[in-house]
């Protein structure tokens, strides 16, 4: 009789073969993930260094075109005109309100002197029924000394008697933060009325 011998296969080589086959898939997957991550980092870097696209629309929905930066002289002149309107155009009924609004354009270092002068103007205007209007014609801006020379006309009314005179004013200014009340960021540090 012949006996058959059955040989048992070892499971270890087969397991090693399956494991090395699955490792190849893991290696390919890891390398492809690394490549995708490097590519996405490069794309993020390129996109983050570009300037953003800003679209500005007006209330009608049409595109606003960019304009040139305004000249500093024009900005300072606009701020000074606004200051003159608040500080030098008042009547007995609104003098206190106007001078309080003009206070927003005064530099903190000059606030004490301004408040003293404003109290005198309020008292004088209320007691004598005085009103005043000024019309600035010339604005000579000197950036080196940070001054503005204003020339124009002043009309003063004392109990309905009007008198006209020349306005010669020198205003020293400094720059500061822009606010809602002072969008130009120009603050008055000193004012001198020339004769």
pLDDT in tens, 91-100: 999 999 999 9
d(CA 131, CA 157): 5
d(CA 116, CA 99): 11
Q: Is the pLDDT of residue 56 over 80?
A: yes
pLDDT digits (tens, 9 = 90+) for 134-175: 999 999 999 999 999 999 999 999 988 999 999 999 999 999
CATH topology of domain 72-193: Nuclear Transport Factor 2; Chain: A, (3.10.450)
Over residues 6-33, mean pLDDT: 75
Compare 188 and 22 and report the one with higher pLDDT.
Answer: 188
d(CA 189, CA 187): 6
Q: What is the pLDDT of residue 142?
A: 92
pTM: 0.66
Domain boundaries, the chain: 12-48, 72-193
Q: What is the pLDDT of residue 120?
A: 92
Q: What is the pLDDT of residue 195?
A: 63
Q: Is the pLDDT of residue 27 over 90?
A: no
């Amino acid at each position: 009789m012949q006996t058959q011998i059955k040989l048992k296969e070892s499971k270890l080589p087969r397991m090693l073969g399956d494991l090395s086959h699955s490792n190849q898939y893991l290696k390919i997957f890891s390398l492809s993930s690394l490549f995708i991550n490097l590519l996405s980092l490069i794309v993020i870097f390129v996109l983050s260094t570009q300037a953003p696209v800003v679209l500005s629309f007006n209330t009608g929905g049409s595109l606003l075109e960019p304009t040139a930066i305004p000249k500093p002289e024009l900005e300072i002149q606009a701020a000074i005109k606004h200051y003159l309107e608040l500080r030098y155009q008042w009547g007995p009924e609104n003098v206190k309100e106007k001078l309080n609004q003009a206070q927003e354009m005064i530099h903190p270092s000059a606030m004490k002197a301004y408040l003293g002068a404003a109290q005198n103007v309020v008292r004088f205007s209320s007691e004598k029924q005085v009103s005043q209007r000024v019309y600035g014609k010339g604005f000579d801006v000197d950036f080196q000394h940070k001054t503005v020379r204003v020339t124009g006309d002043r009309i003063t009314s004392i109990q309905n008697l009007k008198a006209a005179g020349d306005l010669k004013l020198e205003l020293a200014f400094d720059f500061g933060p822009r606010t809602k009340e002072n969008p130009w960021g120009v603050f008055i540090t000193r004012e001198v009325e020339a004769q």
